[in-house]
Amino acid sequence: MLTQRPKGTNDLLPGQAEKWHYIENIIRQVCREYGYEEIRTPIFEHTELFQRGVGETTDIVEKEMYTFLDKGERSVTLRPEGTAPVCRAYVENKLYAGPQPVKLYYVGPMFRYERPQAGRFRQFNQFGIEVFGTTNPALDAEVITMAMDFYERLGLRNLEVHLNSVGCSKCRPVHKAKLQEFLRPKLEKFCPNCQGRFERNPLRMLDCKNPGCQELSVGAPTTTQCLCEECAEHFEQVKGYLDKVGVRYRVDERLVRGLDYYTKTAFEIMVEEIGAQSAICGGGRYDGLIEEIGGPVTPGIGFALGMERIFSALAVQGIEIPVETKADVYLAALGEPAVRETFRLQAQLRKLHLKVEMDYLARGLKAQLKTADRLKAKYTVIIGEDELARGAATVRQMDSGDQQEVKLIDLIDYLVVN
Ligand code: HAM
C-alpha cells in the first residue's frame, strides 16, 4: 500500500508533464482569444453546494462524492465538477454587480468515486468555461464553437457534437408528466434505482446504464417534443448560429446529461474511437442554477472537457505532441579543473537563459556524450585537461557531428550566436 497510489488516480511523470503544459498553453491561448479569464476555486466545498447545485437524484450526488466531516464536524466534499463552485464564487464575490457577461475558465482536478476503467478515473482533470449574464443563443453557439476550435488546434478529427434542448421550468413539468405517463405501465420492470427516480426525476431513468432499462425507455417522449415556444425558438437559433460558422452537430434527443442543472441547450462532444468513455466534453445552459444556490436570477452556460480523454484521443489518432528539446548545451568535463571551469560556464550560460546541463556523476566522456544525446542537446562542449591547458574547448554540433575548437574566451559568444 505504501508504494501504491489510490485506485483511479494517476502520477504525472516527467516527460508527460511537459505534454500537459503544451495543452494548457493552448487552453490559455484560446481563452485569451475568446475573452475568458481564469478563476481558481477551492478543491473542496460545503457538501450542500453540490447537493443543491448538481442535484440530489444524480449519480454524482447519490454515489460518487468524496464527502467527509472535517474536524469541526462540517460536511465537506472534494469537488466532483466545476460549475457549482464557479457559480458559488460568482455569487459570493458579487461578480453579478460588474459588467456582464462574465466569462470565466478553469483547469484543475475533480473527484468522483466511480468504477475506474480506461478513460474514467477517480481523480481527473477538467478544462471548463462558464459564462454568466446573458440568455443570447449566440453564446450557446460560441461555447460549442470554442470547444471545437480548441480540439481542432490540437489536430483532433472525427469529433461529433451531440445537441439537445432539455427545456426550462415551464416546459419541463409538461415533459415530466408525459414521461411518467409513458413509463408508469412498465415501472415494475425497471431497476430499483430507476423506480426510486420515477416520482422525483423520471428524466434520469432515460440515462440508466442498465440495458434492460434502456430498452424499456425506447420511444419515450423527448424533451424537444415538449418544448415551450421560447425554448423551441432558442433551440432553432442555436442551430442557426452553429450553421453560420460551419460547426456540424447531430440533434440527439436522447442526450441526457448526468447533472440536473441544465435548461435549454445541452450538448456533448464524442470521439467514438476512444471506446466506451467517448464523451470528451459536456456542457449546456443552466439558467436557474445561480438562483438555486441563493444568488440573483442570472442565466449561465458552459462546458467542461476531460483532459485525460484528450490524451486518449490524441493517442488513437496518432497525433504526437511536440516536446521542446531538453538542453541547448551539454557541458562535458574531464578532470577536476575542467569540472570547475564548466561549472562556471554553466552559470554564465544560464544567465543568458540557455538550457544547460553538465555531468554531476564524474562519468567518462562516452557516458557524458550519451547523456547529451538523450537530452537532444544542440551542442556539446567538451573540456578535458588538454583543452583546458590551451584555454579552449571542443564544441560538437550534435546533429551533424561536426567538431570545432573554440577559445574559452570566445565560447559564450559562439554558443549564443549559433
Ligand atoms: P460532465 O459531463 O460530468 O460535465 O464532465 C465533463 C467531462 O469531464 C466529460 O465529458 C469527460 O470528458 C470528463 N470526465 C467526467 N468524469 C470523468 C472521469 N471520471 N474520468 C475522466 N474524465 C471524466 C460537467 O462536469 C459539467 N460541470 C460541465 C459543464 C460546465 N456544464 C456547464 N458548464
pLDDT at 1: 83
101: cis peptide before it, omega within 30°? yes
Helix (H) / strand (E) element for 24: namely helix 16-34
User: What is the pLDDT, as a whole number, of residue 292?
Assistant: 95
Q: Phi and psi dihedrals of 107, rounded to 5?
A: -135, 125
* 282 touches ligand 1 (CB under 6 Å): yes
Mean pLDDT of 2-8: 96
Q: What confidence score (pLDDT) does residue 248 get?
A: 97
Q: What mean pLDDT is predicted for residues 83-106?
A: 98
Ligand 1 contacts CB of residue 302 (under 6 A): yes
> Looking at the predicted structure, is the pLDDT value of residue 293 above 80?
yes
CATH code that applies to domain 329-417: 3.40.50.800
Checking if the pLDDT of 184 tops 90, the result is yes
Mean pLDDT of 283-287: 98
- pTM equals 0.93
> Does 17-171+223-316 carry CATH code 3.30.930.10?
yes
For residue 3, how far is its CA from the centre of ligand 1 (angstroms)? 29
Residue with CA at minimum distance from ligand 1 atom 13:
306
Strand ranges of the sheet holding 75-78, from the earlier edge strand across to the other edge: 44-46, 75-78, 67-69
Q: What is the pLDDT of residue 272?
A: 86
Cell 474511437 locates to: 273
83 lines ligand 1 (CB under 6 A): yes
Residue 231, φ and ψ in degrees, nearest 5: -70, -40
**Least confident among 94-103, 321-330, 371-380:** 321-330
Percent of the chain clearing pLDDT 90 (strictly above): 90
Q: Give the three-state DSSP class for 68.
A: strand
Residue partners of 374: CB distance under 8 A and separation at least 6: none
Mean pLDDT of the region 6-15 = 95
- Grid coordinates 494548457 are at which residue? 24
Q: Where in the chain is the domain with CATH 3.40.50.800?
A: 329-417
Q: Which atom of ligand 1 is nearest to the CA of 121?
A: 20
Q: What confidence score (pLDDT) does residue 325 get?
A: 76
Confidence of residue 209 (pLDDT cuts 50, 70, 90): confident
Q: In the chain, which segments carry CATH 3.30.930.10? A: 17-171+223-316
Mean local confidence (pLDDT), 248-276 = 93
Query: Residue 139: helix, strand or coil by DSSP?
Result: helix
Mean pLDDT for 171-183 is: 94
Three-class SS state of 76: strand
Is the pLDDT score of 399 beyond 80?
Answer: yes
Q: Which residues contact 4 (CB under 8 A, 6 or more apart)?
A: none
Would you state the pLDDT for residue 405? 96
Res. 52: pLDDT tops 90: yes
Q: Are 122 and 111 in contact (CB under 8 A)?
A: yes
Q: In the 8-state DSSP scheme, what is residue 120?
A: B
Q: What is the pLDDT of residue 308?
A: 97
Mutational test site, ligand 1, from 86, 102, 126, max ligand atoms within 8 Å of CB: 126
Mean pLDDT of 384-401: 94
Residue 368, pLDDT score: 96
Cα torsion angle, 227, 232, 235, 236, sign = positive
Average pLDDT, the chain: 95
pLDDT score of 49 more than 90: yes
